[in-house]
Structure 1
Amino acid sequence: MPHIDIKSPAPGIRGLFEFRPETAGPLGLLAETLLRGPSTLTVGERELIAATVSRGNECTFCSLSHGAAAAAALDDGTQVVEATWRGVDEAPVSAKLRALLRIALAARETGKAVTTELVDAAKELGATDTEIHDTVLIAAAFCMYNRYVDGLATVASPDLADYEEAGRQLIEHGYLRLGGGGTLAS
């Protein structure tokens, strides 16, 4: 049961976006920019970073919704997402993405946990300064989104399958698409 009277049956951040549309716009634009804007990282890779950070923060809604989006965008998506959640070091992703995920998980703990060693390791595997920047910013933003969603105790299904269609819709339409009732999708 949410801590406040959201009045929307929409789960997670979607209900909060309906509750406060004036904050939904900038938050949706940030997600759209980070996860779908121009980048040398694919949409699937960026969604996987968001899902992995959210999983580390134990945010059910964000980890599953972005996990579903990553699964929709990546080859062998669900297997990749679930393997990454079990352990980044064994994830069936490129060595560069593994290094970026390590940076993201460090940033999730505290910004000071992102060490020169982590950054140098990612650079040695081909990560650019922009990719490292974007990884840290995705991690930081998703810590905020996770705390927003969980801090207000929003409703969220614990089953990844419940998010599959929403994940496909995110990949197809993004975060600024207006849905029923004029709310931003998330």
Structure 2
Amino acid sequence: MLEVLQERIATFRRLEAEHRFGVVIDARVPLPRIPELPAGLYDVFDLVGRVETGVFRFEPPPVVRTVETWSARPPTDAGIWVEHALPIGREVVWMDDDNPVTGGQVDIDVVDGSVFHLDGDDFADYCHRGGEGRLDCTKLAPDLPTFFARYVFGPEYPDLVGLICRFPAYRTRRRRYADPWMRLLVAAGLVAPPASGKI
């Protein structure tokens, strides 16, 4: 899966340079090796840094960018799985002076490396109950490379938009997809074009 991801990142960078859809695919972000973190985190962010699709922003969690910030994080309870979560992607609702106002997010479990989405309303209700009762999440992938290959640089991106943003990724404007990442996926041959056939 890592080789597939690496090839797609290179393809997407080339297509973005050619078509200028307006997305961001930054260069890799050097991260310190922290033994407690899953290998998949490094596998992905050794290939790519910040990714902005027009709907989402993906980037390494700030807490893992230095050994000092990781060491200074608040203690977590090993028995509470939600405390193992670090955000690696957020819905961008709008930009305010280059500062994103964000919505739903995608998290990585730093214990087993899996990637999931936890609905914000469900989590708020869980906290309101004092942490009692069941808290469900939507598992997206067993590791970060698989998630990026399928849901970011892959054909399941529209499913991620529907799950987190709760609107269809297939919306069109002027007979082409409104979401610039969808147009990039079309150019890469990973999703079908709209009925107009326009990229």
- Sort the TM-score into its range (normalised by shorter chain): under 0.3
User: Which has more strand, going by share of residues?
Assistant: 2
Higher relative contact order (CA 8 A, sep 6+): 1
Higher helix proportion (structure 1 or 2): 1
What TM-score, normalized to structure 2? 0.26
Q: Based on CA coordinates, which of the two structures has the bigger radius of gyration?
A: 2
